[in-house]
Structure 1
Amino acid sequence: MKEQDEPVLASTNITPLQQIMASSAGALLTSLLVTPLDVVKIRLQAQSKPFTKGKCFVYCNGLMDHLCVCQNGNGKAWYKAPPGRITGTVDAFVQIARNEGVRSLWSGLPPTLVMAIPATAIYFTCYDQLRDLLIPRMNNAETACLIAGATARLGSVTLISPLELIRTKMQFRPLSYRELTQCIRTSVTNEGWLSLWKGWGPTVLRDVPFSAMYWYNYELGKKWLCQRYNKLEPTFTMSFTAGAMSGSIAALVTLPFDVVKTRRQVELGELESLRNSPKRSSSTWKIMYRIISENGFQGLFAGLIPRLIKIAPACAIMISTYEFGKAFFRKLNNERQLKAL
């Protein structure tokens, strides 16, 4: 019973504001360190559908998605098509750095952080609160973590989706707030309020199972490491290791939905950049079938190596920073209580 109670004790003596501060610090550090890895991943995923004039592509730094317009299109953006086909992860780093400059590996980071930090803060804080609520009511702590992780991710994706759509439109071409308001009003009038949640479906299919598997395996891994090394609380290294392992497993299982989401948002970007009339996007399963018919079953796992190279450190950095931040605030709060006594 003590092992099941430990996750509850991990966050009961810190405030939600302190949880938000700890998760925000993790989001900032993770974005700075792993964005280049995901830029490489998306190039490998998207090169099977070559970019032409005015077309767009999407990448995700592990926290938020980011839509960019090609430099050979109508707007200014950082993407330049490499002169040759990218043959692997190392080759992608070399070609991007050589043809676009090293700074291109971090392009789009500031606007992404504007969305990533609040989204991550909502997600991690909701997870902790739900987990602490569910564990006393369930016999299995890991199952409670699985449910809390899936529910928290579903809620954060749903809340942030309209803001992400707005950010995407502002990145696509410069818009004043009046023009942006008119654009949103027109979209809602023509297609209804649900138009603000375009891309929500494949995002949920990718992120909710990822979060469920991630938190379940993370709690199992953390408990196993604590038992192995006779620790009551996980150390920074234990959190880092458990986060990397659980993130890798979840990334491998959900990669096909990540590829589908990339393909769908690339196609949506193409329609906007070419000013085509709006069309109903294909379903997730139709896009998956199309990928298999064009590139074989292995097409669903395009970018596997760079995704794993990115996800493992991203999850490890995020969770270990978050746990470290919570430990810092717990210690600070305990010291304040002792002084008050």
Structure 2
Amino acid sequence: MASVLSYESLVHAVAGAVGSVTAMTVFFPLDTARLRLQVDEKRKSKTTHMVLLEIIKEEGLLAPYRGWFPVISSLCCSNFVYFYTFNSLKAVWVKGQRSTTGKDLVIGFVAGVVNVLLTTPLWVVNTRLKLQGAKFRNEDIVPTNYKGITDAFHQIIRDEGIMALWNGTFPSLLLVFNPAIQFMFYEGLKRQLLKKRMKLSSLDVFIIGAIAKAIATTLTYPMQTIQSILRFGRHNLNPENRTLGSLRNVLYHLHQRVRRFGIMGLYKGLEAKLLQTVLTAALMLLVYEKLTAATFTVMGLKNARKH
């Protein structure tokens, strides 16, 4: 119990949250482009920079940062939960021994499940707010009118029921493999590099963070596309297809996407996603590593995650 409620786990959680907020703020417009490419299926522009130019031209200079606050709030909570759970479980299971790739994958998966169940409502709301006021090419999309985070929660619960806040939970649970795969490769690459040198440079951390995230994102991207569509939940779906988040509905959306756009329709927006997520993850992990190391040094504690 002491390991779970330790100061070390809190330091890792705060550092992870700060790192993610810093990185997402820097690369936020890329995430805006990715979301438009995933949700607005009839948009002709296929590249990240063209979509961003369209958004700025049609909706204003600050449009790529629409929904920044709810996204940052959700991300901060989400990464705090993930890093706290990951490091607490690691402290309990590994107990000072050298970790293994298998253990990292299992711990990452469990931490991801806890994170999804606790924070999905925040992500549903921020997806809605991020797309509110957007000029869509797809006429099936129903516009929203939320005044902010609290009003969005209120309207969704009132109009769609409280379970709508967990729209996309099923693909999200499948997607816990994304951070699990990312951390498995990140920790594995880190262990290999530390065998050859005493400590990692900032460039080392940035590069292995980017490689780990690129692998995880490419492997799980089709499910991320379906997750975005389900979280948005503002398409005029047939009544039998409104059981949002169920396996049947996930398979329905996968089939529809492939039927309308071919297999590459599942990878629409991948360029923007890779650009955004790889750079964001690399910068986040760099800030995270530096912040934890600095905190432990100042407090005179040994960094529990040195392998």
TM-score by length of 2: 0.79
Q: Which amino acid in structure 2 is aligned with residue 37 of structure 1? A: L
Query: 1:209 matched to which residue of 2?
Result: 177
Query: 1:325 matched to which residue of 2?
Result: 291
Deviation at 1:198, TM superposition (A): 2.3
Distance 1:47 1:178 in 2: 24
Q: Which amino acid in structure 2 is aligned with residue 173 of structure 1? A: N
Matches within 5 A, 1:85-100: 85-100=44-59
Give 5+ residue unaligned stretches, structure 2.
133-143, 303-307
Deviation at 1:89, TM superposition (A): 2.1
Query: 1:4 matched to which residue of 2?
Result: none
Query: 1:289 matched to which residue of 2?
Result: 255
Distance 2:41 2:190 in 1: 39
Q: Quick one: which of 67, 70, 73 aligns to 1:108? A: 67
Distance 1:304 1:180 in 2: 29
Q: Does 1:223 align with 2:223?
A: no
Query: 1:184 matched to which residue of 2?
Result: 157
Distance 2:120 2:86 in 1: 18
Q: Is the 8 A contact 2:127 2:231 kept in 1?
A: no
Distance 1:219 1:335 in 2: 21
- Aligned in 2, Cα 1:29/1:98: closer, same or farther, shift over 3 Å? same
Distance 1:121 1:90 in 2: 31
Q: Which amino acid in structure 1 is aligned with residue 258 of structure 2? A: I
Q: Which one is further off, 235-244 or 247-256?
A: 235-244
Give me the CA root mean square deviation: 3.3
Distance 1:49 1:95 in 2: 14
Query: 1:32 matched to which residue of 2?
Result: 25
Distance 2:171 2:206 in 1: 28
Query: 1:41 matched to which residue of 2?
Result: 34
Matches within 5 A, 1:301-316: 301-316=267-282
Q: Which one is further off, 124-133 or 136-145?
A: 136-145
Q: Which amino acid in structure 1 is aligned with residue 37 of structure 2? A: L
- Aligned in 2, Cα 1:323/1:13: closer, same or farther, shift over 3 Å? farther
Q: Is the 8 A contact 1:14 1:333 kept in 2?
A: no
Q: Is the 8 A contact 2:146 2:152 kept in 1?
A: no
Q: Does 1:156 align with 2:129?
A: no
Indicate the structure (1 or 2) with the bigger Cα radius of gyration: 1
Q: Which amino acid in structure 1 is aligned with residue 195 of structure 2? A: Q
Give 5+ residue unaligned stretches, structure 1.
1-11, 51-84, 337-341
SS at match of 2:41: coil
- Aligned in 2, Cα 1:271/1:175: closer, same or farther, shift over 3 Å? farther
Q: Is the 8 A contact 1:149 1:211 kept in 2?
A: yes
Alignment identity in percent? Answer: 21
The C-alpha deviation readout for 1:59-111, integer Å capped at 9, x for no partner, is xxxxxxxxxxxxxxxxxxxxxxxxxx314222223222333333111111012
Q: Which amino acid in structure 1 is aligned with residue 251 of structure 2? A: W
Deviation at 1:25, TM superposition (A): 1.4
Q: Is the 8 A contact 2:20 2:281 kept in 1?
A: no
Q: Is the 8 A contact 2:171 2:227 kept in 1?
A: yes
